[in-house]
Amino acid sequence: MKKQVMLGSIGVILILVFFMAFTSFYTVKTGEVAIISSWGKITRIDREGLNFKIPVVQTKEMLVTRDKIYSFDNMSVSTKDMQSIVLDLTVQSAVSDPEKLYRSFRGMHEMSFIIPRTKEVVQASISKYTIEEFVSKRQELSKIIYEDLKDDFNAYGLSVSNVSITNHDFSVEYEKAIEAKKVAEQEVERTRFEQEKFRVEAENQVLLAEYKLKEKELQAKANQVEAESLSPMLLKKLTIEKWNGKLPQVSGGDNAPIIRLND
């Protein structure tokens, strides 16, 4: 009887030893840490590799510290001019101070801080710009959101390495307004072109009229100079120069003699 009790006791002790050994040693992977607490109080942070904790007395919580990308798809925000934008955004973040982060959120940092704070910062940043400014300054907005998140995250032991607005879409009402605006702008451009064409044609007509008037004035002056230069003596001289030396032939009535000067 005593032998059976002794064997049973040894078996229980072996099971306890095996259980304690199994629960005391553990491995921490690369990019993770283990938060070790003794009776609920954080005592140390274990890094990657094989580690040991006291069973029952100490507990561990695994925390991923490597870079993680948080995707915010179909996030609806409003601009300064009260237009709606649906955008996709990514935030790349890592844990820089595991103990500070764990003390603040007890492992619930994603749901309690990262997601709601990101949405708040994105809305606050975009609300300072009109929808047209958002389109032209999308990269600038990503940098502004990054700077705001970096300061907020750093206060709780998180680091931010990148923020990107990967896609955006506008409301149906705004799309219609954009289309109407394009049509109006095209009509304005067409009207402006026609007005410019009419102006150029009018200027060309004025220039042509001025040219013709100038031409007439020059012709008139040339005629006047030519008329003034034809004096009676000059006309007589020109007539003599053009005469071929023959006198005109004259014929009279039936009884008048015919005089031929060239015989």
Is there a single domain that holds both residue 25 and residue 117?
no
Answer whether residue 74 is part of any domain: yes
C-alpha span between 256 and 100 (Å, rounded): 151
**What pLDDT is recorded for position 15?**
72
Same domain, 166 and 78: yes
Give yes or no: residues 127 and 185 share one domain: no
Residue 134 φ then ψ, to 5°: -60, -45
Tally Cβ neighbours within 10 Å of residue 98: 20
pLDDT by residue for the chain (263 residues), tens only, comes to 666 667 667 776 767 666 666 678 899 999 999 999 999 899 999 999 999 988 888 899 999 999 999 999 999 999 998 888 999 999 999 999 999 999 999 999 999 999 999 999 999 999 999 988 898 888 899 999 999 999 999 999 999 999 999 998 887 667 666 666 776 777 787 788 888 888 888 888 888 888 888 888 887 777 676 666 666 666 666 677 666 666 666 555 555 555 554 54
How many whole angstroms separate alpha carbon 140 and alpha carbon 149? 14
Evaluate whether residue 141 is within a structural domain.
yes
Alpha-carbon distance 139 to 123, whole Å?
Answer: 16
Has this prediction a pTM greater than 0.75?
A: no
Helix ranges (DSSP H) in 72-171: 98-105, 109, 115-126, 131-136, 138-154
**Positive or negative CA dihedral for 147, 152, 157, 158?**
negative
Instruction: Give Cβ neighbours of residue 112 (< 8 Å, ≥ 6 apart).
Output: 105
pLDDT at position 109 is 94
**What total number of domains does the chain contain?**
3
- Phi-psi label, residue 156: left if phi above 0, alpha if psi -120 to 50, beta otherwise: alpha
Same domain, yes or no: 104 and 154: yes
Distance CA 131, CA 141 (A): 12
pLDDT, residue 74, reads 93
Compute the distance between CA of residue 141 and CA of residue 146 in angstroms, rounded to an integer: 8
Q: What pLDDT shows up at residue 199?
A: 83
Same domain as 166, residue 71:
yes
Range of the domain at 58: 20-65
Q: What is the pLDDT of residue 211?
A: 82
Q: Token digits for 78?
A: 């409003």
Q: Are residues 75 and 166 in the same domain?
A: yes
**Start-to-end C-alpha separation, the chain:** 193
200: in domain: yes
Are 164 and 179 contained in the same domain?
no
For residue 184, give both structure tokens.
Answer: 């109006």
Tell me: do 166 and 193 sit in the same domain: no
